[in-house]
Structure 1
């Protein structure tokens, strides 16, 4: 029995020996495998600031990188040698392509060159007269290098002097140097000098110096001002022979806007309208000049400003009507001390009208499948002010393709119509001059109607209307607020079977009966997930939704207390969602993605639970994937007849969920994933029809947990996802029995009950 405990260790040692020996035999006799380098820092003085950063920077100079190891073994190198031998076979070729690494030999290393780079980097940091040395160690087939760097006492700044002050640009530079980071007593640092040159360059451009360049500036250091101390004096001046156009400010004399620009456009035959110092040039009026003027921040006879130029282009692009927005400046001949520019905005519009049709085959994890058709008609620039009209239509039919012995042949028909009118400006009861510089807030008016017939059980009709605003505060932050959000839901033509479900669950009946929802909602997203070059990506989403309070106040003022408005029962609730996501991008192709979602709904006053269309559910392809859609909770509740009741009952007022997923490449466009999900939903109030469903302090002990793997066909702008998952923890089982899974893959019954297949478009988070 004792020997068995050492079997894994024996196996690992044997594997390491085999790989080590396999690698060794491929090394040429006149070569040594490079094992890397170590750097030791020595200092002549104590208390050097930023020494850790300097050491990290110097370590980055130790090139080349040696072959990587995994658990002490050269797995990548072994795969390379196996894959490049004669007749390597399919497996060896595959391993070489995926994890193979070419050998790094000591002959590729130049210790003397590395010493020069270390000295150069130390001098750039102010440590002049430092020294370095290196020592090479060879053993068996391996070689490594040990570097030693002795850091001298650094040179420190005594003062900064701007040489000359006769030109206007030099006076500007003197003023800008009041905010310099070059403080007396600071160490000489080439990085800070470069930063200062770029800072001054950017600031001068903001003041109108259109042709200025950071290369026109030069710092000169004088180290001969003291024989006893290592100090230096810094001089800043313009280089000799700087072109005159580079050191004069420019003003914008003319602003031309081409709202309907194309390469073939003949400018001589276009009409010009002058407004607020801008010339709007177009053959026919395709965009009203008065409205377009508000998007442009640069003004006539003002100095050139790159920030206002960039923001003007951003604002014009944010209208949503233009394919290309190009701002080009043209220099004018001048005889005075100022430069003069003409600003030309070339705006190339998108196609005004478009129609898109999507034919979908829908498959859900609750065994419903069927076709769906989506139609979208879009009209851009409807009233010649950048307005966009979207008309949408949807037809979907689903039927139950499996359901076991309780199968009822359920089917559903869904019809939908919607219209959105978007104005690229703020539309309010009184004129509002927006102050957003990054992009323009948009006003959205929406109206939609939906019809749902669920297989003879019931019919649900709904009408929704919204009025609100949305905008991007910057490239990461998005806001949306809807001061007016109205929904009317009508449950009609219920079957006796469904009426029995409602009779057994009064809370569910109330959630359907409160068919008027009037409130306000707000959404905020901060998204830094899309940059694949960012190691740490994150997303913050916040949603707030409040309904019924204004109507309740009106009823109190008027003396009504029947819970109705215009003859309709209205809902009262507050709802908050928090969505946190974090992506660790190991490299460009491997990611560990995590998500934490928490949603809380608080019914009060006229409501005992959230309206049905506002409730949460758990399970399915974008939730806990080891459970079918809407099949988890609330709490530890489990319906007796899963196939029928789960669709109606398994929703709640609270949802907490966490997910983690490791994403990795397989071949070409095919990627893989390993994931684990956990979550559940709960009710805020006790419901006798759903025992165990109330949210309590031991909610964490009622989480459903599942794991699985997936395949993704990722073609950058479109992802087809397949996930296969199995539960690890089932919350509705008795305590002590919730964890565990027999994993009897050979059993047809086990597979049917424990393997959940999910098909979806896009990543889950």
Structure 2
């Protein structure tokens, strides 16, 4: 059955018309293995009518859908543009009633004490020539949650004085606040928070079963889904005064102790560590060594690890008060260290005293060496973690050592070779080798890392790499880079009053120092072109970078929405540039930074992704007696290619609205700028699955451009190449397109086709939109992974 609608499309872009025709197929649904002459569930839906924020309403709708009886859920699978409904459940009105009960119970648990749920059942008979008639049933639910209870007063009344004192100390961290919506899930989380507080203060055996929440009697009865309707009506009369703004009072109380040990504060007794147990059961006798370090006993089978290093990463120490946070910190730390595959931590009552816990830590090493071969795409939106402007597909051979120097130091050596595709098919060839040493600790003075325990992961990084790049008919570039830096991250998880989980991760990277030396050997023809333009000649030259780098990444997930925020900054020559010989020599002096924000809304089988990027840099050094006017090309910004402004070839957009690169001798030059602005919006959707490969597609729009701080030169063709506030927005390029993505789970191949909707070099033309646009005038892009 096809459902279509009339559309109006411009004849200018026939590709859009074709795409719309394809999209109409999405509503096509075929049925298989239907029981003859029996009504079956063809489709079910839930509509929520409530004054709620969109994200909370969508989350509530999803949770209500999960409450539907299995026999009311018509599960489909996609085969390209067709939805397949196989073995649909037979329709039974009892399942509608049961689903209503389930949804009511959910709404009650969220504080909606008087929800209204209506169901509409539509039966349609579809006839076929050679098949029995199908009785298709569509069940539509309309849910009006109504008023929601809010907390009026929250009390804590615990019989044990020490527990009461601890609970009051952390009351300001409570998940329950006066005026916030009622939720059984939040109450359960609040009990869990208190139990964690008690366990972090020595109460090892206390559990959530030792606490309970007491509601005021009227409301407690109203939110009971098993309450007799007549009794509920009676209670409603008592609640008339609160009907407009219903509230509830809750008190957290303590149950009588089932076991006296639940109220004992425990300390750590003996700690026994097995750092090198085999992951498979070994019945053979193995000689072991026993050593004592920091009052902990280490029983080893080999000499794989340095025991002081192991001891430094264990936080359950003899004589200390038991804290659950130290348990998690120890478990997480061992999990972060690459030398171990996993670990088990067990607690037992000590024979010495009732308040002591003996700890046994069993650690199972991972395989020390690892070699891998990967197909990858080199993506560089001026990311300071990478060292080149190479933008292509390559093969990476990597070798890892997970336990160098017997201290879980990970060393990685990577050999990479790749090609970059362009107008001349293979326009760039690159080969590189890199070596990274990741030390699982921050090698800095202790006073700088006072809160090291709060970090999720931290390491010191030493990196060195060498790269050779051949740009056909233009230049050869050889570069070597070395850096020392630190990387750490923090994670946080919480739940909003709308019962939506929020997970956030913050990652920091600092490199001090970062040293790069790049030697550029230019072809004579290329040098002759550069000699005609001093600005370009200063950008394309051998250079030395001595400076520092900083990157901050944040990923925040709330419900079905994910926000990614990234800031980076880099400088070179800020201090050493005051040495005249260096400033006038090869030393590059510049400062640059960029900001990127990506918002992803996941609808299940489709996603809407919006991306914004802004970057700028200033060069202020000298070469000889001339001042640098632009960033060196390997630190500059560019646009065009598979991950940026996809309607243009790689590095072939810009600068601004200038026509400087349109004619000889500059027509074959790559384009770089000091400023870049770009925005993207992309709707991604699943077409279907074939042989285990997910076929996906997308419709997208890219908007952006690059500029210099000053015009390239004084020629008429260079006009519009500089960034000016009164016209930059008129010089945005606009591209639109679609594509096919082959998702193999472990990597994704992207085939994109995009059109130039607005070319900034046609900014003065009356028909600058859709200029010279034909069905075959698009730009093909091959990419690995998503562009953002």
Aligning the two structures, in what range does the TM-score lie when normalised by the shorter sequence? 0.7 to 0.9
Give the alignment of 1:214-293 within 5 angstroms: 214-220=208-214, 223=217, 237-239=253-255, 242-263=258-279, 264=281, 269-293=287-311
CA 1:764–1:189: 2 relative to 1, 3 Å: closer
2 CA distance for matches of 1:375 and 1:33? 51
2 CA distance for matches of 1:208 and 1:198? 16
Give the alignment of 1:394-543 within 5 angstroms: 394-396=416-418, 402=424, 413-428=429-444, 435-437=451-453, 438-455=455-472, 457-474=474-491, 476-492=505-521, 494-513=522-541, 515-528=543-556, 534-543=559-568
1 CA distance for matches of 2:738 and 2:150? 58
Q: Flag the structure with larger Rg.
A: 1
User: Greater relative contact order (Cα 8 A, min sep 6): structure 1 or 2?
Assistant: 2
Q: Is the contact made by 2:150 and 2:178 (CA closer than 8 Å) also made in structure 1? A: no
CA 1:674–1:103: 2 relative to 1, 3 Å: farther
- Give the structure 2 partner of residue 384 of structure 1: 406
Q: Is the contact made by 1:33 and 1:106 (CA closer than 8 Å) also made in structure 2? A: no
CA 1:629–1:397: 2 relative to 1, 3 Å: closer
- Give the structure 2 partner of residue 545 of structure 1: 570
- Give the structure 1 partner of residue 498 of structure 2: none
Number of aligned residues: 687
Mean CA deviation greater in 443-452 or 107-116: 107-116
Q: Secondary structure at the match of 1:425?
A: coil
Q: Is the contact made by 2:40 and 2:90 (CA closer than 8 Å) also made in structure 1? A: no
1:715 pairs with 2:744: yes
Q: TM-score when scaled to structure 2?
A: 0.73
2 CA distance for matches of 1:343 and 1:605? 60
Mean CA deviation greater in 134-143 or 595-604: 134-143
Q: Where in structure 1 are there 5+ consecutive unaligned residues?
A: 1-5, 9-15, 42-48, 67-75, 84-91, 404-409, 746-750
Q: Is the contact made by 1:624 and 1:679 (CA closer than 8 Å) also made in structure 2? A: yes
Task: Compute the displacement of 1:207 (Å).
Answer: 1.9
- Give the structure 1 partner of residue 633 of structure 2: 612
The Cα offsets for residues 319-347 of structure 1, whole Å up to 9 and x where unpaired, read as: 3332x232322312557542523141414
2 CA distance for matches of 1:761 and 1:341? 51
Q: Equivalent of 1:603, from 619, 625, 628?
A: 619
The Cα offsets for residues 560-581 of structure 1, whole Å up to 9 and x where unpaired, read as: 37833xxx32221110110110
The Cα offsets for residues 46-68 of structure 1, whole Å up to 9 and x where unpaired, read as: xxx99xx99x98998799879xx
Superposed CA RMSD: 5.2
2 CA distance for matches of 1:361 and 1:157? 56
Task: Compute the displacement of 1:496 (Å).
Answer: 2.7
2 CA distance for matches of 1:504 and 1:667? 55
1 CA distance for matches of 2:566 and 2:485? 18
Task: Compute the displacement of 1:452 (Å).
Answer: 2.9
- Give the structure 1 partner of residue 499 of structure 2: none
Q: Secondary structure at the match of 2:679?
A: strand
- Give the structure 2 partner of residue 676 of structure 1: 701
Q: Secondary structure at the match of 1:486?
A: strand
CA 1:733–1:308: 2 relative to 1, 3 Å: same
2 CA distance for matches of 1:232 and 1:412? 69
Mean CA deviation greater in 279-288 or 665-674: 279-288
Q: Equivalent of 1:311, from 314, 329, 344?
A: 329
Mean CA deviation greater in 201-210 or 733-742: 733-742
The Cα offsets for residues 629-687 of structure 1, whole Å up to 9 and x where unpaired, read as: 11101112345667984553411111111111111111111111111112111111222
Q: Is the contact made by 1:470 and 1:481 (CA closer than 8 Å) also made in structure 2? A: yes
The Cα offsets for residues 415-455 of structure 1, whole Å up to 9 and x where unpaired, read as: 43332222222235899766422335322222222233434
- Give the structure 1 partner of residue 157 of structure 2: 162
CA 1:242–1:643: 2 relative to 1, 3 Å: farther
Q: Secondary structure at the match of 2:634?
A: helix
Q: Equivalent of 1:348, from 354, 362, 365?
A: 365
Q: Equivalent of 2:770, from 732, 736, 740?
A: 740
2 CA distance for matches of 1:33 and 1:411? 54
CA 1:732–1:218: 2 relative to 1, 3 Å: closer
1:756 pairs with 2:779: yes
2 CA distance for matches of 1:94 and 1:649? 39
Task: Compute the displacement of 1:294 (Å).
Answer: 2.3
2 CA distance for matches of 1:563 and 1:524? 30
Q: Is the contact made by 1:115 and 1:133 (CA closer than 8 Å) also made in structure 2? A: no
Q: Equivalent of 2:678, from 657, 661, 664?
A: 657
- Give the structure 2 partner of residue 12 of structure 1: none
Q: Secondary structure at the match of 2:308?
A: helix
1 CA distance for matches of 2:471 and 2:424? 16
Task: Compute the displacement of 1:481 (Å).
Answer: 0.8
The Cα offsets for residues 277-333 of structure 1, whole Å up to 9 and x where unpaired, read as: 3233322322222223222223222232222211222223333332x2323223125
Task: Compute the displacement of 1:500 (Å).
Answer: 1.4
- Give the structure 2 partner of residue 71 of structure 1: none
- Give the structure 1 partner of residue 495 of structure 2: none
Q: Is the contact made by 2:338 and 2:403 (CA closer than 8 Å) also made in structure 1? A: no
Q: Is the contact made by 2:731 and 2:763 (CA closer than 8 Å) also made in structure 1? A: no
2 CA distance for matches of 1:107 and 1:205? 49
The Cα offsets for residues 607-643 of structure 1, whole Å up to 9 and x where unpaired, read as: 2110121011110001011110111011123456679
CA 1:723–1:98: 2 relative to 1, 3 Å: farther
Q: Secondary structure at the match of 1:569?
A: coil
Mean CA deviation greater in 719-728 or 230-239: 230-239
CA 1:257–1:630: 2 relative to 1, 3 Å: same
Q: Is the contact made by 1:514 and 1:569 (CA closer than 8 Å) also made in structure 2? A: yes
1:628 pairs with 2:628: no
CA 1:704–1:33: 2 relative to 1, 3 Å: closer
Q: Is the contact made by 1:58 and 1:118 (CA closer than 8 Å) also made in structure 2? A: no
Q: Equivalent of 1:582, from 591, 594, 599?
A: 599
Task: Compute the displacement of 1:763 (Å).
Answer: 0.8
Give the alignment of 1:641-656 within 5 angstroms: 645-646=666-667, 648-656=669-677
Q: Where in structure 2 are there 5+ consecutive unaligned residues?
A: 1-5, 9-23, 125-137, 219-234, 240-246, 381-389, 492-503, 623-627
Mean CA deviation greater in 592-601 or 325-334: 325-334
2 CA distance for matches of 1:245 and 1:402? 77
1 CA distance for matches of 2:632 and 2:589? 9
The Cα offsets for residues 703-751 of structure 1, whole Å up to 9 and x where unpaired, read as: 2211111111112221111111121111112423321155533xxxxx3
